[in-house]
């Protein structure tokens, strides 16, 4: 079985590699999120051990992108963050399990074996909010029977808002998840929300994307 480790701390990456190879696994290691995403997209792995805080692209974004591409390889998320919301975010973006640093290699290997026994999980194909739907696997957006063409960035933005439907989402949260934490002005988020509104709301007389003053935005769970 082949495992991908995406971890930028050399000592942890080496310990994981040596531990997994001692168990008989073939192991590839990447120290960047964008490179890890490329490897996981281009090659078949039986499981992925994925750190959250990575250069290039954080682990939450890597995990979400893989799931959007229809890649259901079991993912063990590994991070120094141990808050309930951090764990929930990792699992909500598609991770199958979550461990915090420092960790026991013995326990990690046992939980990884459990993931491998279960194999890839079946995941919901479509997100819906009323008659607004988004199919991450086929990258198709629809309002009723109408297919709506979105750019990749618009698609990622709408997907995150739909994933958090009914919840207020801050502009910084959107920057972190849709723009992979890039340093940019929050006004860019406003611009892209405007693009989305002109495609999914205005032609249909709807208002699915609501502005929450002082916070950010919320996608109406009923579709507007």
Q: What is the pTM of this model?
A: 0.56
Task: Provide the residue-wise pLDDT of the chain in tens; the chain has 224 residues.
Answer: 889 999 999 999 999 999 999 888 889 999 999 999 999 998 889 899 999 889 998 898 898 888 877 788 899 988 776 544 455 555 666 788 888 888 888 998 888 888 888 776 655 568 899 999 988 767 789 999 999 999 888 888 898 899 889 999 998 888 877 775 556 778 889 999 999 999 999 999 999 999 999 889 999 999 88
- Among 55, 83, 118, residue at a domain's last position: 118
- Measure the CA–CA gap between 155 and 140, rounded to whole angstroms: 9
Is residue 203 located within the same domain as residue 151? yes
Is residue 14 located within the same domain as residue 44? yes
- Among 118, 152, 186, residue at a domain's last position: 118
- Measure the CA–CA gap between 149 and 7, rounded to whole angstroms: 36
The domain that holds 204 is classified in CATH as: 1.10.10.10
- Measure the CA–CA gap between 106 and 25, rounded to whole angstroms: 15
Closest CA to 67 of 59, 130, 147: 59
- Measure the CA–CA gap between 113 and 101, rounded to whole angstroms: 19
Asked, for residue 224, whether it belongs to a domain, the answer is: no
Is residue 45 located within the same domain as residue 140? no
Domain span at residue 95 reads 2-118
- The total of structural domains in the chain comes to 2
- C-alpha dist (Å) from residue 170 to 58, 115, 161, 186, 212: 18, 33, 10, 10, 9
Q: Give residue for tokens 């250069």.
A: 55
Q: Structure tokens of 23?
A: 């168990």
């Amino acid at each position: 079985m082949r495992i991908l480790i995406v971890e930028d701390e050399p000592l942890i990456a080496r310990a994981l590699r040596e531990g997994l190879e001692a168990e008989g696994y073939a192991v590839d290691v990447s120290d960047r999120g964008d490179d890890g995403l490329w490897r996981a997209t281009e090659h078949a792995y039986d499981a992925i051990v994925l750190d959250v805080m990575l250069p290039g692209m954080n682990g939450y974004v890597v995990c979400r992108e893989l799931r959007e591409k229809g890649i259901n390889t079991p993912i063990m998320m590994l991070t120094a963050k141990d808050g309930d919301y951090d764990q929930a975010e990792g699992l909500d973006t598609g991770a199958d399990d979550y461990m915090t640093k420092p960790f026991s290699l013995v326990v990690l290997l046992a939980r990884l074996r459990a993931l491998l026994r279960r194999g890839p999980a079946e995941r919901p194909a479509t997100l819906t909010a009323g008659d607004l739907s988004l199919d991450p696997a086929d990258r198709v957006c629809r309002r009723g029977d109408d297919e709506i063409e979105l750019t990749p960035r618009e698609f990622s933005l709408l997907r995150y808002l739909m994933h958090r439907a009914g919840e207020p989402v801050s502009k910084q949260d959107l920057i972190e998840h849709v723009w992979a934490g890039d340093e940019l002005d929050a006004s860019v988020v406003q611009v892209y929300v405007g693009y989305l509104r002109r495609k999914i709301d205005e032609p249909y007389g709807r208002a699915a994307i609501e502005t929450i003053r002082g916070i950010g935005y919320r996608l109406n769970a009923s579709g507007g």
